[in-house]
Amino acid sequence: MEFIPNILFAIILILGIGYFTRNVRKLIRNIKLGKAVDTSDNKKERWKNMMRIALGQSKMVTRPIAGMLHVVVYIGFIIINIEVLEIIIDGLFGTHRIGLKVLPESVYGFLIGSFEILAVLVIVAVIAFWLRRNVIKLKRFLSAEMKGWPKNDGNIILYFEVVLMCLFLVMNATDTPFQDMGHGNVISQFIAPWFEGISETALHTIERTAWWLHIIGILVFLNYLYFSKHLHIILAFPNTYYGSVEPKGKFNNLEAVTNEVKLMMDPNADPFAAAPEGAEDEVPEKFGASDVMDLNQIQLLNAYTCTECGRCTSACPANLTGKKLSPRKIMMDTRDRLEEVGKNIDANKGEFKDDGKQLLGDYITHEELWACTTCNACVEECPVSINPLSIIVDMRRYLVMEQSAAPMELNNMMTNIENNGAPWPYNQMDRLNWVKEE
C-alpha cells in the first residue's frame, strides 16, 4: 500500500509527458507541411540571435514596463520550476525534499529562499499584466482578433501562473520540518502563521494536497501550451535560431522567374527548344502562396510562435491609419488555418482531403494584403523574430502572378513599365520633353 502514491505519481507523469509528446509530434508534422528551407548558413549568427533574443530577451525590453515584467515572469517561472526535478524524484521514489540529502542545508535553503522571492515577484508581475489587459485595457489588446478565445487564453495563463506560485508557497509554509529548519522560508514563514491551530495531520494533508496540485498543475500547464499562444515559451528558441539573417527588406527571388529572365536576356537561347524528356509532364510550381502548404516551414514555425503581444500591429503604419491590416492577425490566421489542415489530416488517416478552403480569402482578405507598405516595422518590433511580411509578400505574389488580381493602380504601373520602361504613362521618346524651353 505504501507504494500506491508512487505508482499513481508515475502514471500521472507518464500520461502528462506522453500527451505532451504526442502534441509535439503533431506540431512538427504540421510545420513540415510547409516547404523545406535551407538554414545551414550563418550558424554563428543564428546561435547569437537565439542567445540574445530568446534567452537574453533583448528585444522584449525595448518597451521597458512590459519588458521588465515579462523578464521577471520568464526568469522566475523557469528557475522556480527547477524544483520540479526534486518533486519528480520525490514522487517516484517516495522521498521528501531529496535536495536536503544531496546538498548542504545552507545551500538548499538559499535555493528555496530564492525560489520563494521569485514566486512573489512572478505573482506581482502577473497581476500587473492582468490589470493592463482587463482594467487599463491597452489598445493593442482590444483589436478585433483579440476577442473571444485569444482574450480568454491570455487571462487563463495568468491565472495558471498565480495558482502555481501560490501552491508552491503554501506547500513550503505547511511543511513543518522545512519551517523548523529555518533556512529558505524567506516568504513562507509569513504564510505559516495562517495555519496555526491546525493539527499536524491536517497540516500534513494541506501540504501534500498543495504538493500534488502543484505537480499536476505543471503537467496540465505543459499540455495546455499546445493549445495556447504561450507555445512561444518553447518555440521562441528555434524560431530565433531559424529566423532570417538577411538584411531587412531583402526579398527572395523565385527561381522559376529568375530562369525565365535569364532566358530572355540570353541572345543565344532558343525559346522554342524542346523541353527535356519528361519535363513536359511536370506540374509548374505555384507562384507565391494561397494556402499554408505553399508557405515554407519557417513561416509556419513563425505562426505557432506568435505571442499575440500586438507589438507588430501597434507599430504598423497601415493599421495606425485605420487600414484593415493587422500583422498579428496574419500570424493568428495562418496558425488557425494550419491547425484546421492538421485536424483534416488526422480525420482522414494521414492525408489531406480538400475542404474547399484556403488561407487566402477564407482567412486573410485581399484588402489586408494590399494595405501593407512592406516597411518591415512589424518584423523589427517582434520580440521573437517573427516575419509577417514574408507571408504577406508570398500571398501578394500569388495574386499577381497566378490570378492577375493586383489593384488597378498597380496593374497600370506594371503595364507602363512593360510598355514604356517606367511607371509613368509617357512614351520613352517623350521622357525628356520637360527640359525643353518654351
pLDDT value, residue 157: 93
What is each CA distance from 80 to 75, 84, 412, 427, in whole angstroms?
8, 8, 60, 71
**Distance (Å, whole) CA 339 – CA 345:** 10
Q: How far apart are CA 12 and CA 218, in angstroms?
A: 11
Would you state the cell numbers that stand for residue 256, as one nine-digit string? 522559376
- What span, in angstroms and rounded, lies between the C-alpha atoms of 378 and 394? 16
What are 142's three cell numbers? Answer: 482590444
Helix runs in 37-193, H state only = 43-49, 64-80, 83-93, 99-102, 105-134, 149-173, 176-181, 188-191
Q: What is the pLDDT of residue 26?
A: 96
- Specify the DSSP element, H or E, that contains 329: helix 327-347
Name the DSSP class of 253. P
The DSSP code for 179 is H
CA dihedral of 87, 92, 95, 97, whole degrees rounded to 10 = -10
Q: Are 174 and 207 in contact (CB under 8 A)?
A: yes
Distance of CA 367 to the CA centre of its chain: 25
Give the global pTM: 0.89
In angstroms, rounded to a whole number, what is the distance separating the alpha carbons of residues 191 and 206?
A: 13
* Boundaries of every domain in the chain: 4-31+63-242, 255-267+285-420
The C-alpha cell at 295 is 508557405
Those residues whose C-beta lies under 8 Å from the C-beta of residue 84, and which sit 6 or more positions away, are 215, 218
Q: How far apart are CA 48 and CA 62, in angstroms?
A: 18
Distance spanning both ends of the chain, measured CA to CA: 107
- Per-residue pLDDT at 116: 94
Residue 58: all three cell numbers together: 533583448
Q: What is the pLDDT of residue 272?
A: 65
- CA 31 to chain CA centroid, Å, is 13
Q: How many residues are there in the chain? A: 438
Residue with cell 508557405: 295
* C-alpha dihedral sign at 84, 232, 385, 299: positive
Contact criterion met (CB below 8 Å) for 174 and 211: no
Cell of 184: 529558505
Q: For residue 35, list its beta bridge partners.
A: 296
What is the block-wise mean pLDDT of the chain (438 residues), using blocks of 10 residues? 86 96 96 93 94 92 90 85 88 91 91 93 95 92 92 93 94 92 91 91 94 94 93 94 88 77 78 59 76 96 95 96 95 97 94 94 96 95 95 94 86 85 80 70
Q: How far is Cα 402 from Cα 27, in angstroms, rounded to an integer?
A: 30
CATH 2.30.29 fits 255-267+285-420, yes or no: no
- Cell 539573417 belongs to which residue? 245
